């Protein structure tokens, strides 16, 4: 499955899960929260076990920007480890370079964070990394390649929003450097994803 490039609001409604990074945006103003389609409000069919498992897998895929094959490989790695498979999968997702840039508040959406990485604007420990799924390890420092990026209108606007940074990330707004202090604790991971259903999905396919 290729990367999803469609409207995130529509996909959020389909999954009943915010892919926008800000839960308030999912239900603010005239934005609809019912399933997409002219009869969305009437669609309240009970999902099958298959449908529930697929839905939780898609939350991770679209929520963190994984491609289908990438996520399948990541699950295999998580399953081979000693820790809980579901927890390891979410921890791995949170440590993606694009996600860490997004969580810091430097980028207001995951897509913008992915663009910064893909266009080679981001450095990891002083070296250019243009792979959004690159895994950041505790202690590594992320910065911008060029000083003039501080004047980027979108970045300046994001900094003015004063977005709360997770406790496992330290963000210096003056130097625009991000320090990944540690992996997130279990209670800091996304509670809107039932990883047990994701594990059930892949156990039948890996």
Instruction: For 68-116, write each residue's pLDDT tens digit.
Output: 999 999 999 999 999 999 999 999 999 999 999 999 999 999 999 999 9
Confirm if 27 and 33 have CB atoms less than 8 A apart: yes
For residue 187, being part of any structural domain is answered with no
For residue 198, what are the CA distances in angstroms to 79, 90, 205? 12, 11, 11
For residue 2, being part of any structural domain is answered with no
CA distance 106 to 113: 8
For residue 35, what are the CA distances in angstroms to 116, 154, 193? 31, 30, 18
Looking up tokens 């202690």 gives 139
Find, among 12, 24, 10, the residue nearest to 164 by Cα: 24
Do 137 and 163 have their domain in common?
Answer: yes
The answer to which of 53-67, 127-141, 142-156 has the lowest mean pLDDT is 142-156
Do 113 and 83 have their domain in common?
Answer: no
The two tokens of residue 79 are 């399953």
| 116 alpha carbon, distance to own chain's centre | 15
Cα dihedral 152, 169, 189, 53 sign: positive
What count of other Cβ atoms lies within 10 Å of the Cβ of residue 70?
A: 16
Helices (H), the chain: 8-15, 23-27, 49-64, 68-80, 85-94, 97-104, 110-118, 153-160, 195-203
Q: What is the pLDDT of residue 3?
A: 60
For the chain, how many structural domains are there in total? 2
The answer on pLDDT for 26 being more than 50 is: no
CA distance 12 to 18: 5
CA distance 52 to 199: 12
Do 146 and 81 have their domain in common?
Answer: no
CA distance 74 to 9: 26
State the pLDDT confidence band at 23, using cuts at 50, 70 and 90: very low
Range of the domain at 145: 96-182
CA distance 166 to 182: 11
The answer on pLDDT for 38 being more than 80 is: no
Do 162 and 149 have their domain in common?
Answer: yes
Do 136 and 125 have their domain in common?
Answer: yes
Q: What is the pLDDT of residue 163?
A: 85
Do 127 and 88 have their domain in common?
Answer: no
pLDDT digits (tens, 9 = 90+) for 183-205: 999 999 999 999 999 999 999 88
Q: What is the pLDDT of residue 27?
A: 38
Do 16 and 56 have their domain in common?
Answer: yes
């Amino acid at each position: 499955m290729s990367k999803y490039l469609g409207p995130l609001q529509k996909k959020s409604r389909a999954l009943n899960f915010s892919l926008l990074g800000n839960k308030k945006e999912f239900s603010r103003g005239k934005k609809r929260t019912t399933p997409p389609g002219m009869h969305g409000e009437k669609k309240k069919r009970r999902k099958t076990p298959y449908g529930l498992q697929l839905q939780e897998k898609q939350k991770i895929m679209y929520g963190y920007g994984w491609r289908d094959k990438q996520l399948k490989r990541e699950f295999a790695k998580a399953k081979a480890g000693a820790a809980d498979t579901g927890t390891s999968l979410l921890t791995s997702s949170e440590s993606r370079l694009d996600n860490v840039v997004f969580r810091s508040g430097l980028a207001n959406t995951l897509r913008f964070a992915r663009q910064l990485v893909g266009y080679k604007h981001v450095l990891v420990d002083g070296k250019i990394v243009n792979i959004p799924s690159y895994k950041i390890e505790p202690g590594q420092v992320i910065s911008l390649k060029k000083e003039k990026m501080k004047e980027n209108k979108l970045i300046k606007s994001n900094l003015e929003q004063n977005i709360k940074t997770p406790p496992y990330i330290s963000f210096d707004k003056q130097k625009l450097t991000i320090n990944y202090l540690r992996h997130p604790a279990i209670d800091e991971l996304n509670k809107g994803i039932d990883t047990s259903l994701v594990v059930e999905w892949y156990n039948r396919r890996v």
